[in-house]
Structure 1
Amino acid sequence: MVTAIILMNVERSRINAIADRLADMKEISEVFSVSGNYDLIAIVRVPRNDDLAELVTHHLLTIEGLEKTNTLLAFKAYSRHDLEAMFSV
């Protein structure tokens, strides 16, 4: 399982609409609106790196109002919860 965090800058007037669209994507498990340098953060969980590449380089490009992304690849999860079991596909 590949986990990534995508930090996003979006047009202010489209934050809610873009968050809803992202939340409907099967690859994205969670979307947060946040304060600070970014507007939205998406948590991505996919089986393979190629799936992440497809999401970032193809699907996100179709979202009008999404201005900039910064994708962080997670190496290891530190959690008391069994995340792998919770998000197994």
Structure 2
Amino acid sequence: MRAIFVQIKCEMGQAYRTAQEAADTIAELSELFSTSGQYDLLGKFYLDADQDTGLFVTQKIQKLPGVRDTYTLIAFNAFGGAKGL
């Protein structure tokens, strides 16, 4: 499994609806946060090693109601805090 983070920009007034739909329908979703700034939501998703990231984002995230734009970050390593570095 590998983690990806996706920032999601929503149509005006749709962030909570979009977040609920993502939580209800995307099994790969680990955590979803509301954020301030250019994007409205930040999602952490775990994909299988052979799962296509681009296809996942375009087919599952960008098709959610209210999604206007996305920005995807692929994570390489997870560190366990200051003592784990």
Q: Could you say whether these structures have the same fold, taking a TM-score greater than 0.5 normalized by the shorter chain as the test?
A: yes
The answer on 1:29 being equivalent to 2:30 is: yes
Structure 1 position 14 matched with structure 2 position 9: no
Q: Give the Cα–Cα distance (whole angstroms) in 2 for the partners of residues 64 and 21 of structure 1.
A: 8
Task: Give CA-to-partner distance per residue, 1:24-49, whole Å, 9 cap, x none.
Answer: 21111111001112100000012225
- Percent identity over the alignment? 31
Structure 1 residue 53 corresponds to structure 2 residue 54? yes
* Superposed displacement of residue 51, structure 1: 4.7
Task: List 4+ stretches of structure 1 deviating above 4 A.
Answer: none
**Within 2, Cα distance between the matches of 1:51 and 1:23?**
20
Q: How many pairs were matched up? A: 80
Normalised by the length of structure 2, the TM-score is: 0.82
Partner of 1:72: 73
Task: Give 5+ residue unaligned stretches, structure 1.
Answer: 81-89
| TM-score, normalisation: structure 1 | 0.79
The SS at the match of 2:13 is helix
d(CA) in 2 for partners of 1:8, 1:62 = 11
Could you tell me which runs of 5 or more consecutive residues in structure 2 were left unpaired when the two chains were aligned: none
Distance 1:11 1:76, change over 3 A: same
| 2:62 partner SS | helix
Higher helix share: 1
